């Protein structure tokens, strides 16, 4: 998929969420619509609703919906921070969290893997494609190079 289109989806979502957090109530509905639209788009284009790209978007959409519950509004603020981190640094907190899921890992869960997932520097492409094999994680407890 076109990298520019992916970025445009996230930028539009960020703008809508910023407008909502700034007091424009319809902004949240716009953010939800954009996220739902890109989730559907990635599902149809990839022909796989379980792809990692779809998981990230579906999780983001789920959090937008959960944040509709009044005491949970702070989730939207956290999402706003996370999406801006993603746009500015290419580090996607949502993708890093989803990489912990057993269906997304080819290596056992360990403290070394957790440290690697959290602190490995951002890079183009999916974090799953850069996840080191088990043998590199097992060495001396040190985080492997990215």
CA 128 distance to own-chain centroid = 12
Copy the structure tokens of residue 44: 């149809």
- What's the average model confidence in pLDDT over 107-136? 87
3-class secondary structure, 83: helix
Torsional sign, CA 47, 129, 92, 107? positive
Reported confidence tier of residue 32, pLDDT bands at 50, 70, 90: very high
* Residue 4 neighbours by CB under 8 Å, 6+ apart: none
Please indicate whether residue 142 or residue 34 has the higher confidence score (pLDDT): 34
CA dist 145 and 132 (Å) reads 9
Q: Which two tokens stand for residue 51?
A: 């792809």
Task: Give the model's pLDDT for residue 145.
Answer: 47
Burial of 133 (0-12, 13-18, 19+ CB in 10 A): exposed
Residue 19 pLDDT class (50, 70, 90 cuts) = very high
pTM of the model as a whole: 0.88
Give 117's contacts (C-beta < 8 A, 6+ positions apart): 96, 99, 100, 127, 131
140 — pLDDT class (breaks 50, 70, 90)? very low
């Amino acid at each position: 998929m076109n990298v520019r289109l992916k970025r445009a989806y996230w930028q539009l979502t960020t703008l809508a969420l910023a407008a909502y957090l700034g007091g424009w109530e319809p902004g949240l509905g716009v953010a939800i619509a954009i996220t739902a639209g890109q989730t559907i788009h990635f599902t149809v284009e990839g022909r796989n609703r379980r792809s990692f790209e779809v998981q990230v978007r579906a999780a983001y959409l789920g959090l937008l919906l959960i944040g509709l519950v009044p005491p949970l509004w702070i989730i939207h603020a956290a999402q706003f921070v996370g999406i801006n981190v993603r746009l500015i640094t290419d580090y996607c907190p949502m993708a890093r969290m989803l990489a912990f899921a057993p269906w997304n890992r080819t290596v056992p869960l360990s403290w070394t893997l957790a440290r690697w997932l959290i602190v490995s520097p951002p890079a183009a492409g999916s974090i799953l494609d850069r996840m080191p094999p088990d043998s590199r994680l097992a060495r001396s407890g040190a985080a492997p190079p990215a």
